[in-house]
């Protein structure tokens, strides 16, 4: 158990819809990262938050957004969903600059 | 920019044989290097990491990796494969200016009885 909790585990929805993925980091970890894992793109970094502030952006689409709340949990919002958004979305957290990232079990998003 | 190349998308070994998974990286600054393992329907679990210091890094489950700057490599090895090692392995790189991980495409390890 990594200590990172992601909900829901599975999400099935239709094109054009909007979903919210939730992540609770390990106790004490200030940094939260979101990654997308798909068959064609592999594992890609989306966005990082540190103590409530956006710290870095990766290959995140404009239709996607995220935030980190005062209690340090984070949400990834995906809107106007397309078939190609079907993927496994991982959240990871870390304690500090030299510390490794610990991953949750992911949310599997299926767009029908 | 940084990148990771994992040679061999699939590797098959016999139980008890040496495991060698290859990883080469590209980074314009001193890298931090990681190996993660992913079992089916699970998240990524950290096997080992290199940040600074000793270039031979020991991780969990008997795995180790050696950072070779001259070869820009960070290959993962295990002397004797076990059936439970069957999984997908990812090499990743980051650095002080960019903590987000850049992953390789992964290597699926199959262990034959």
Residue A108 to residue B35: CA distance in whole angstroms: 23
* Mean pLDDT on B20-47: 92
Q: What is the pLDDT of residue B30?
A: 85
Q: What is the pLDDT of residue A97?
A: 66
DSSP letter for B72, please: T
Residue ranges with strand state E in B18-106: 19-21, 24-26, 32-38, 44-50, 56-58, 64-68, 73-78, 87-95, 98-103
**Chain mean pLDDT for chain A:** 95
Q: Could A97 and B99 be called an inter-chain contact, meaning their C-beta atoms sit closer than 8 Å?
A: yes
Give the pLDDT confidence of A64-82 residue by residue, as tens digits: 999 999 999 999 999 999 9
Residue A25 to residue A27: CA distance in whole angstroms: 6
Instruction: Report whether B53 contacts B33 (CB < 8 A).
Output: no
* Closest CB from B36, B46, B100 relative to A33: B100
Task: Please determine, for residue B99, whether its predicted confidence score (pLDDT) is greater than 90.
Answer: no
Q: Could B101 and A4 be called an inter-chain contact, meaning their C-beta atoms sit closer than 8 Å?
A: no
* Mean pLDDT on B44-50: 94
- Confidence band of A10 (pLDDT split at 50, 70, 90): very high
Give the pLDDT confidence of A43-57 residue by residue, as tens digits: 999 999 999 999 999
């Amino acid at each position: 158990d990594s200590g990172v909790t992601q909900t829901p585990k599975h999400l099935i929805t239709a094109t054009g819809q909007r979903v919210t993925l939730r992540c609770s980091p390990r106790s004490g970890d200030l940094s939260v990262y979101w990654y997308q894992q798909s068959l064609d793109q592999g594992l890609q970094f989306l966005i990082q938050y540190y103590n409530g502030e956006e710290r870095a952006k990766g290959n995140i689409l404009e239709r996607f957004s995220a935030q980190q709340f005062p209690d340090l949990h984070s949400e990834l919002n995906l809107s106007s969903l397309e078939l190609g958004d079907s993927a496994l979305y991982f959240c990871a957290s870390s304690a500090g600059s030299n510390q490794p990232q610990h991953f949750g079990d992911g949310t599997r998003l299926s767009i029908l | 920019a940084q990148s990771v190349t994992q040679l061999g998308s699939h590797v098959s070994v016999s139980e008890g044989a040496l495991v060698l998974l290859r990883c080469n990286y590209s980074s314009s600054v001193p890298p931090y290097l990681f190996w993660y393992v992913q079992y089916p329907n699970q998240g990524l679990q950290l096997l080992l990491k290199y940040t600074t210091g000793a270039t031979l890094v020991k991780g969990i489950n008997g795995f180790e990796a050696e950072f070779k700057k001259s070869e820009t490599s960070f290959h993962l090895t295990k002397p004797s494969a076990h059936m439970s090692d069957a999984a997908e392995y990812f090499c990743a790189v980051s650095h002080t200016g960019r903590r987000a991980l850049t992953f390789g495409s992964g290597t699926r390890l199959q262990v034959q009885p």
